Structure 1
Amino acid sequence: MKKHTFIIAEAGVNHNGDITLAKKLIDAAVKAGVDAVKFQTWKTELLVTEQAEMAEYQKLNTQKVESQFQMLKRLELSYDAFVELKQYCDQQGIMFLSTPDEETSATFLNDLQPIFKIGSGELTNTPFLRHIAAFNKPIILSTGMGTLAEIEHALTTLNNAGVARSNITVLHVTTQYPTPMHEVNLSAMLTIKHAFPGIQAGYSDHTLGIEVPVAAVALGATIIEKHFTLDKNMAGPDHLASLDPNELIDMVKAIRNIESALGHGRKEPTESELENRKIVRKSIVAATSITKGDILNEHNLAIRRPGNGIPPSRWDDVANTAATKSYQPGELI
């Protein structure tokens, strides 16, 4: 069966708190041919204290000196806005998803989406994991900043709350925006898959460019998540580590090409190779004139193209036998 990687275009907070920009992001995701477009939903007062500082990458990317509370409040969309975005996604024929960052928003989102994505920041949030599990929907679990032991604890929590491992996809991710190549550690995705039988493994990418998510697909990722923006030069914490619309299109094309190239896994000639085999391979032919009854041997036989006669792999079946007819030089035996 041909592989189909579920591609999530992560709009995240790249709408900058503007629903018009959010809809333009949806349009770009549709044009790229992804499977889902994802946002992030929170109430700032329920997510962060007023004293919490911004991450260093957020300070660098926003070029602002403010608290995390102030930044998130600027980027926050209302619940009504998300209802409108869900309706717009339905009209455009693309799946709407949003990551909840606290329980109240998770409850709100339950009516809007068929899948729950749990962000890396909640990997160790046991009450939150139980809250999500209660919705009885497939779960995508990001694991940035996490250890194998923390992933195991999260999976155990979800399993004990009634979520089967077959309904969980664990994403390897490095929580740095952008992620330097030497910190990607893509092999950890395979470690996760082997460590927890029954789960699917995928990759959420924060590197610059498209080569790492494409490589992840070649390694077996079932889900790819990638940030995108309308303009990398826009002010905001995630624009710099995001793809622009054309790069998103290129990534989707590359992933679909890799899926096709992976094939069915059986080692056998393709349809086009069967035709080429006749030209490229060789046959046993007469090297000299041969009279009926002559003994065939290395002196009167040769191996030459084309390959539509007796293959040289059957040399031992032909050599030292009597010719059943006469041959001219170059004639197929």
Structure 2
Amino acid sequence: MIFKELNKPYIIAEIGCNHNGNTELGLKMIKSAKDCGADAVKFQYFTKENLFTEQYMSDLDEGSVKIENIDKWETKELNLDGVSEQIDEFINDKEQLGVFKKYCDDIGIDFGCTPVDADGVYFLKEINSSFIKLASMDADNLEMIEAAIDTGLPILISTGMADLQEIDAVYNLFKSKKFDNFSLLHTVSIYPPRDEIVNLNFIDTLNALYDCEIGYSDHTLGFSVPLAAIGKGVKVIEKHFTLDKEMFGWDHKVSADEKDLKIICEEGNKVYRTLGSSYKVLSPEEIEKREKFRRSATLNVDVRKGHVLTKEDFVYKRPGTGIRPGEIDYVLGRKFKNDTKKDKTLLLSDFD
């Protein structure tokens, strides 16, 4: 898969850890994403040990550090207390990701994953992931990006929390490595962001600055913003996905459910098809319709042979098969070749 060769929106259903660690639920979600029209699913691969310090993990468990979509909560259904236990329960391991990758291959949907360290990057290379997705937290981690480049796999990287100087550094690294199969994703790393900070117009800036596919990773509620991004010409869309927005877990409330995802896929492709060209191009259908809907000079009186045409002799009526309004000066003041009846569509051949 080559991002610059996409000819339609590439919709990624970000399952992440929304399967809550349940392999059967994960498989069901992959099939559902495929049925909704998604082109790919994406998971996450991390552990407590390679993502958090012990103190940070303790602060999350105690609630002294809070993240929008990860918080301390208890449920009788899952019998989990604290973020640490949630992570142990919900995260993907290599065996589970291998099962998901094989199932994606079997049913014909792309598989992608977000690693957080070199071990994860090399594992994705080993299972021949369709792409590597680097999270916004690694937009300033050039060492991590370089490790992903070395795999040769297509790369997506979110740019949430990154300023333009940092995005420049990422882009320049790709180019210095002569690696072109990547996409920079405009992202706002808030779950969910206020409408006023989504800033879709920045997509235009990214397109103007960088010679690569610009995409959009969405954390808003619903489906309208991904469709708006597609309306700006974006061809790579990532959206969190769940089967139930009320399910216990981290990202369910900011995710698209099956109804939302189907709308993004179906209407997104429709929106993209309507973008067309930046040039005014008349379709064959419109050209054909001109003859039916435009108007021609039409006699409003009977005239005799030799009569000199004046503006009082005609009006404009359909069809548009005769002398058009812009051509009338060619025949004003000229003589008719023959007697001609009222309501005749005038042609150049009617005049001497």
Same fold (TM over 0.5): yes
Provide the C-alpha distance between the structure 2 equivalents of 1:114 and 1:248, rounded to a whole number of angstroms. 20
Match of 1:259 among 269, 272, 282: 272
Could you list the per-position Cα deviations for residues 120-153 of structure 1 after superposition, in whole angstroms to 9, with x for gaps in the alignment? 0111112211211211222111001111111112
1:55-94 correspondence to structure 2 within 5 Å: 55-59=66-70, 63=73, 69-94=84-109
Change (3 A) 1:182 1:156: same
Find the partner of 1:277 among 273, 276, 290. Answer: 290
Say whether the 8 Å CA contact 1:133–1:163 is kept in structure 2: no
Tell me the matched-pair count. Answer: 329
2:223 is the counterpart of 1:219:
no
- CA distance, structure 2, for counterparts of residue 71 and residue 55 of structure 1: 14
Mapping of residues 15-164 of structure 1, within 5 Å: 15-52=19-56, 53=60, 55-59=66-70, 63=73, 69-112=84-127, 113-160=129-176, 162-164=177-179
Please give the alpha-carbon distance, in whole angstroms, between the structure 2 residues aligned to 1:49 and 1:2: 40
**SS class of match (2:95):** helix
Match of 1:228 in 2: 241
Mapped to 2, the partners of 1:155 and 1:270 lie a distance apart of 38
**Conservation of the 8 A alpha-carbon contact between 2:292 and 2:320:** yes
Indicate the residue corresponding to 1:188 in structure 2.
202
1:305 aligns with 2:309: no
Percent of aligned positions that are identical = 32
In the alignment, structure 1 residue 289 sits paired with structure 2 residue 293: no
Cα distance in 1, alignment partners of residues 6 and 171 from structure 2? 29
Q: 2:240, 2:254 within 8 Å by CA — same for their partners in 1?
A: yes
Give me the whole-angstrom Cα distance separating, in 2, the residues matched to 1:155 and 1:70: 38
Residue segments in structure 2 that go unaligned for 5+ positions in a row: 75-79, 347-352
Amino acid at match of 2:174: L
Q: Distance in 2 between matches of 1:189 and 1:275?
A: 37
Cα 1:27/1:154, change in 2 over 3 Å: same
Please say which of residues 305-314 and 15-24 is displaced more in the overlay. Answer: 305-314
Tell me the distance in 2 between the aligned counterparts of 1:19 and 1:94: 17
Residue 179 of structure 1, aligned match among 193, 200, 223: 193
Q: Matches of 1:101 and 1:288 in 2, distance apart? A: 83
Judged with a 3 Å threshold, the aligned counterparts in structure 2 of structure 1 residues 101 and 67 are, in CA distance, closer, same or farther, namely farther
Q: Is the 8 A contact 1:15 1:22 kept in 2?
A: yes
Counterpart Cα distance in 1 of 2:85 and 2:145:
27
Is the partner of 1:171 in helix, strand or coil? strand
Distance 1:50 1:119 in 2: 22
Higher mean alpha-carbon deviation, 270-279 vs 86-95, is at 270-279
Distance 1:66 1:33, change over 3 A: same
Letter in 2 for 1:90: D
- The worse-fitting range, judged by mean Cα deviation, of 140-149 and 276-285 is 276-285
AA of the residue aligned to 1:56 = I
TM-score (norm 1): 0.92
Q: 2:16 aligns with which of 5, 12, 24?
A: 12
| In structure 2, distance between residues paired with 1:47 and 1:309 | 75
RMSD across aligned positions (CA) = 2.0
Distance 2:311 2:34 in 1: 66
